[in-house]
């Protein structure tokens, strides 16, 4: 069995490309022959929708994995992408912070479920846009955190709160947690602001920032409405090329940490 790597895709700011990254990085890794699971831990369920799982077919969800008796294998659903499966979510997750607030070991729930050996190479956890109990569970369970960072004015200011949460999780529950990398998203090379944000991010965060940058791309925006990753929706788009390049860089970083 392979050593499964668990990566939380997180940023407390919404609209920065978390779900887009989880879906398309997952698809690109699967395309390379890796066995991948995406855990949709966002009550909005966008990753589930983006991978073609209708709401009415989400009978067993990430809420059941987190709060119920089900194990990972009982919550998986197939997708149309070879080697890519998903644990879908629905609105039940919206009450998770309240439902689980008094449960003993409430930050360790997901870790316990994912601690068993599995057949998968990578588990990507699509976190909600908040630093509540769901995201903390993802970080406690994860080996690392991948941070999509939109190329906009306040991007780096918002990042500091996320890094503080990572530091707290290291100190209290998961000392081996590391930052997988920071991924610049929605970048426009013709826009001076995008260029300045990229320069500032690389200056401040150095090697944490991926060389690969995800551009603004119409096909990337359209793909979720067709319930498929952009790699499937338009294999020749700039968005597809960017996520394939990200997968290569991601895998090279994985080899460097072995």
Give the tens place of pLDDT for each residue, 101-150: 888 899 999 999 999 889 999 999 999 999 999 999 999 999 999 999 98
- Predicted confidence band of residue 155 (pLDDT cuts 50, 70, 90): confident
Please choose, from the candidates 210, 256, 235, 246, the residue with its C-alpha nearest in 3D space to the C-alpha of residue 29: 246
Helix (H) or strand (E) holding 84: strand 84-87
Query: How big is the CA angle at 173 (ends 168 and 178), to the nearest 5 degrees?
Result: 65
Average pLDDT of 213-219?
94
pTM of the full structure: 0.95
Residue 150 and residue 67: Cα distance in Å, rounded? 32
The number of helices, as runs of H, and strands, as runs of E, in the chain is 12, 8
What the block records as the tokens of 248 is 């290569």
Mean pLDDT over each residue of the chain, to the nearest integer:
93
| CATH 3.40.50.1000 holds for 5-257 | no
């Amino acid at each position: 069995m392979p050593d499964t790597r668990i990566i939380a895709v997180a940023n407390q700011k919404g609209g920065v490309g978390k779900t887009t990254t989880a879906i398309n990085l997952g698809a690109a890794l699967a395309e390379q022959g890796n066995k991948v699971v995406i855990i949709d831990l966002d009550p909005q369920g966008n990753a589930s929708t983006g991978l073609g799982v209708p709401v009415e077919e989400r009978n067993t969800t990430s809420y059941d994995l987190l709060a119920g008796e089900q194990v990972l294998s009982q919550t998986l659903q197939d997708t149309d992408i070879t080697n890519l499966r998903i644990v879908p979510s629905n609105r039940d997750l919206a009450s998770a912070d309240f439902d689980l607030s008094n449960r003993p070991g409430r930050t360790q729930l997901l870790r316990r479920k994912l601690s068993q050996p599995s057949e998968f190479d990578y588990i990507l956890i699509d976190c909600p846009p908040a630093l509540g109990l769901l995201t903390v569970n993802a970080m406690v369970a994860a080996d690392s955190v991948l941070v999509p960072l939109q190329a906009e004015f306040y991007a780096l200011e918002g990042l500091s709160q996320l890094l503080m949460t990572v530091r707290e999780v290291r100190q209290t529950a998961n000392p081996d947690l590391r930052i997988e990398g920071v991924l610049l998203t929605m970048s426009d090379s013709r826009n001076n602001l995008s260029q300045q944000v990229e320069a500032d991010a690389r200056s401040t965060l150095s090697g944490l920032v991926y060389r690969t940058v995800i551009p603004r791309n119409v096909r990337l925006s359209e793909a979720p409405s067709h319930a498929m990753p952009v790699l499937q929706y338009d294999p020749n788009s700039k968005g597809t090329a960017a996520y394939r390049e990200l997968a290569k860089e991601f895998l090279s970083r994985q080899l460097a940490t072995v």
